[in-house]
Amino acid sequence: MQWTDEGIVLGVKRHGEASVILELMTREHGRHLGLVRGGAGSRMRPVLQPGNSVNAVWRARLDEHLGNYAVEGMRLRAAEFFTRPHAIFGVTYLAALVRLLPERDPHASVHAALDDILERLGDPLVAAPLAVRFELQILTELGFGLDLANCASTGATAELVYVSPKSGRAVSRGAGEPWADKMLRLPAFLAETAANSSAGDFTDGFALTGFFLARHVLEPRGLALSEERAHFIAAITRALSSAA
């Protein structure tokens, strides 16, 4: 068995004295692990940093085997994150999100979205809404997508400011006002094109996605929202405040 694909490094685990087990989010083969012989050495260490994009050749005798990777660096962006705390936390959290997907299950759109957010992770004003949308995409890929296109009560597409915690559907201002204290807030950058979004909008966005991630994905697995997520949100909130 052999294939070649583009992949984004999610993490590495030491294996023996000189090798590592490399975890990639590949474009065509999903989240996939493989052994990199000599991966712990000084030549390969800069390439196998989380957030980097690589070209990978995977080989194994049988498809169900761990297999071996031969990798070459393509976009070694990880070094750019070292001076930006929110970016360092972001790489760790994005990898944790991708691990919610089944191993070896192709999700080409997730690979493309992950590549896009990593390219722009250094700018908190861009990275914050992209991270919220990425969480929404993971929910959709797992079968729990939200319907934010029109009001669940009236079908209206204007003034969508709430999301029902029961149905995961958008609700307009007029229809939702009587139950506003029970609704989740829908930030404008998810409902429509917003010229300017505030830190509060992003906080509402993470609260929205966090609610449904916890309910539909994490709690059934006996998990809670991760510390990686909390650290990332705190760091990007600080970065947004500094940029204001």
Tell whether 70 and 90 lie within a shared domain: no
Question: Phi, psi (5° rounding) for residue 111?
Answer: -60, -45
- Of the pLDDT bands very low, low, confident and very high (cuts 50, 70, 90), residue 241 is confident
Stated as kind and residue range, the H or E segment containing 71 is strand 68-75
What's the CATH number where 53 sits? 2.40.50.140
Question: Phi, psi (5° rounding) for residue 200?
Answer: -65, -35
- What does pLDDT average to over the chain? 94
Name the domain boundary from 15, 41, 76. 76
Decide: 103 and 32 in contact? Cβ < 8 Å: yes
Q: Identify the CA nearest to 203 among candidates 185, 228, 177.
A: 185
Tell whether 23 and 59 lie within a shared domain: yes
Stated as kind and residue range, the H or E segment containing 31 is strand 30-36
Name the domain boundary from 76, 102, 123. 76
Tell whether 65 and 89 lie within a shared domain: no
What integer pLDDT is reported at residue 196 of this predicted model? 63
The pTM of the full predicted model, rounded to 2 decimals, is 0.94
pLDDT, mean of residues 71-93: 95
Tell whether 19 and 54 lie within a shared domain: yes
Tell whether 85 and 70 lie within a shared domain: no
Tell whether 106 and 227 lie within a shared domain: yes
Number of domains in the chain: 2
| Residues spanned by the domain of 24 | 2-76
Name the domain boundary from 21, 55, 76. 76
143-202: per-residue pLDDT in tens?
999 999 999 999 999 999 999 999 999 999 999 999 999 999 999 999 765 556 777 899
114-136: per-residue pLDDT in tens?
999 999 999 999 999 999 999 99
Tell whether 8 and 124 lie within a shared domain: no
pLDDT, mean of residues 24-41: 97
Tell whether 120 and 199 lie within a shared domain: yes
Distance between CA atoms of residues 185 and 115, nearest Å: 28
